[in-house]
Amino acid sequence: MLLALAPGLAGCGFKPLYGRQDGDVTVQEFSQIVFGQPEDRVTQQVRNHLLDMVTPLGVPQQPLYRLELKVTETVSSVLVTRTDEVTRNNLNLQTLYRLLDYRTGTVLYQGQVSSLVSYNLVRADYANLVSERDARSRAARDNAEQLRIVLGNYFSRRQKQAQQQPG
């Protein structure tokens, strides 16, 4: 089935982000990113997931980019019984990001990603704490994965623009 789809995908201009041509540059660019220090635990979680995905070999010696993150979280009730008992919450995690030139501090790219996760509430307080913590962890991982894709697309587009410029 995959072989049948290959000619169609090749004709439409589809290229994998981490393929041999663009992926090499994307991975090289990723390895030149340093991350700002987190302000709180949830920002640290997003940052740690990104570190694992983007710079698995550690901090670059001569970085080209600095990525700053600001994470905000909101929790809202979504299922309430007739007796006003909340039985399900939504946790929305939004990450504002700024990719800066490391040397000049110029903002190269910025935006926002967000994740919405739900978790159940029961009568046991400890179970509720664990459910909320797990939801927060899932949202942080999702935010990090979205950021990796967004940054990969940015570096890929930037490379294409550089190739198209005469010179």
pLDDT at 152: 92
pLDDT at 24: 60
Task: Give me the count of residues in the chain.
Answer: 167
What are the tokens at 61? 């010696």
Non-local CB neighbours of 77 within 8 Å, separated by 6+ positions: 86, 88, 89, 90
Asked if 22 and 15 count as a contact pair (C-beta separation under 8 A), the reply is yes
pLDDT at 20: 47
Ramachandran angles phi, psi of 19, nearest 5°: -70, -175
pLDDT at 55: 82
Q: Which DSSP state fits 86?
A: E
Give the pTM: 0.80
Non-local CB neighbours of 123 within 8 Å, separated by 6+ positions: none
pLDDT at 74: 96
pLDDT in tens, the chain (167 residues): 555 555 555 555 555 555 445 446 677 888 899 999 999 999 999 999 999 988 877 888 889 999 999 999 999 988 877 787 888 999 999 999 999 999 999 999 999 999 999 999 999 999 999 999 999 999 999 999 999 999 999 998 888 777 777 65
